[in-house]
Structure 1
């Protein structure tokens, strides 16, 4: 059986329900699902896995034997992920982040890469003009944080460092806190997200699905069956109706993410869109 590590969302729960009796797939529960990303990249622990988009792009650039199954598991506006203390009047908007201290779980985190790209594109703030603090290693072991990023002391936490005055702002993920002492860095974060979508024509993808390259030759029929099940589950889940699925739909996020992380020196070599899809046959 092929092992599959995917988080629990309405569309993936439907996928798991429909494939529960399959003799081809077994779903492995990993919590949080982000733990599976490094396991997949470094040890090839699973046959199919959810993975952060930037993690996959870096893994592909470093020659990891993975293929991208063109389905977004998660996509969202990125501007809402930047938060500060509500009382911090020195940051009235993202333009004030130049020279500030920002914490992010990992420098290579997909949300962080999107945010840095947006800050450069819209406000002219280069990544090296911010003092970054990270808390975890990259999922791809070959990649190292840049010299202008420092590691927090063991046991430190994003929110604690923000509230303690050691950070000016932080980047959070899906579990955005709603505490009264916190505020968005953007005066209208949701509006900024809508403006990004109007400008670029898509909502940025955070998580995708990847598979071992070897499955193309050894278990192609099973992989195609999985792909068909994914398409059906996404289609039949109302909350997933806006998630891009298929190469053409997901390509805009792939292209801009490539541009952003290339400009951020996060890849070991130049990489084209064709490189991203290398190894995935027609039919996906």
Structure 2
């Protein structure tokens, strides 16, 4: 049987390396894998569709889906999940001590549509701070002029202005020209220990844990997508990809649990794993598939629509390939 040669773009994670190195083969597929940064993957995928299979931003995927011209169909392989309380940075000289103090402040972001920023704005809503109560400034983090990868039309009550020509968000936060910043990556001023820049939540783990205990939400950032024409031509492909990526995820989890010699360059791995298991009540936190993730996905779809990114509220049944909503069992 001739195997289907597919280009696969994904991040370099413990949960994708078994795909990349062949330990988790894909039935019927000869993969040509590329380990890329999220920014490069998503920009290329949504602008030019050069990949047969690609990791995708959940938010940008929903933007294109709601617009009716998404070139990819999703598979519920959630290659990135992250609590985002640690993604809010503030100036220490602006009287910002709590989320409510962000009202009326100028807050920078790289793109309105970034999935992390959708979740952060949802977190702030939980504290009673609506997106319309903040003056947003969009720009490049360390290079000026970053565009939205997909054009979006925002609600009339949202104030979003571009950074001055030639300016970066890092420079603006250093100079005090903005009061804070939200995003999945930190700015260099924070990494370098700028004395007037810190995270809003000093203990992000505690804040996120409290949020999870209250809501049950472990935010989903990225999913896997197949080009629609391929999925239509090869109806078996979605299931084969899900099976392989789920196997790769399981292999990564098994490796993390083997603490005889830790598989990541970080101390206290066993303690952090125990913290996560305790938080989830002994269940797995990082899961793939629709079952068990319905509430997280529905919450995201609500936020996405309210924040003006999807002109209509998408339904859960639209998000993924039809074969993704059920699986066999023994």
TM-score (norm: length of structure 2): 0.77
Paired position in structure 1 for 2:52: 47
Which stretch shows the higher mean deviation, 18-27 or 154-163?
18-27
Paired position in structure 2 for 1:210: 225
Which ranges of structure 1 fall in alignment gaps of 5 or more residues?
Answer: none
Say if 2:117 is the partner of 1:117. Answer: no
Say if 2:176 is the partner of 1:165. Answer: yes
Paired position in structure 1 for 2:78: 72
1:130 to 120, 128, 134: 134
Once the 2 structures are TM-superposed, how far is the Cα of residue 278 of structure 1 from its aligned partner? 5.8
* Count of paired positions: 280
Paired position in structure 2 for 1:37: 42
**Aligned equivalents of 2:183 and 2:324: distance in 1?**
36
Paired position in structure 1 for 2:95: 90
**Aligned equivalents of 2:39 and 2:10: distance in 1?**
10
**Is the CA contact 1:213–1:279 (under 8 Å) kept in the aligned structure 2?**
no
Which stretch shows the higher mean deviation, 152-161 or 226-235?
152-161
Paired position in structure 2 for 1:192: 207
4+ residue runs over 6 A deviation: 19-22
**Aligned equivalents of 1:282 and 1:270: distance in 2?**
20
Output aligned runs, 1:195-274, within 5 Å: 195-238=210-253, 242-274=285-317
**Aligned equivalents of 1:234 and 1:172: distance in 2?**
26
Once the 2 structures are TM-superposed, how far is the Cα of residue 150 of structure 1 from its aligned partner? 0.8
Which stretch shows the higher mean deviation, 124-133 or 246-255?
246-255
Once the 2 structures are TM-superposed, how far is the Cα of residue 274 of structure 1 from its aligned partner? 1.7
**Aligned equivalents of 1:222 and 1:89: distance in 2?**
53
Say if 2:34 is the partner of 1:24. Answer: no
Q: Assess, with a 3 A threshold, how the Cα gap between structure 1 residues 8 and 49 changes in structure 2: closer, same or farther.
A: same
Paired position in structure 2 for 1:156: 167
Once the 2 structures are TM-superposed, how far is the Cα of residue 68 of structure 1 from its aligned partner? 1.4
Once the 2 structures are TM-superposed, how far is the Cα of residue 208 of structure 1 from its aligned partner? 1.4
Which stretch shows the higher mean deviation, 17-26 or 254-263?
17-26
Say if 2:5 is the partner of 1:6. Answer: no
RMSD of aligned Cα (Å): 2.4
The structure with higher relative contact order (CA 8 Å, sep 6+) is 1
User: Which structure is larger by alpha-carbon Rg, 1 or 2?
Assistant: 2
Which ranges of structure 2 fall in alignment gaps of 5 or more residues?
Answer: 140-145, 258-283
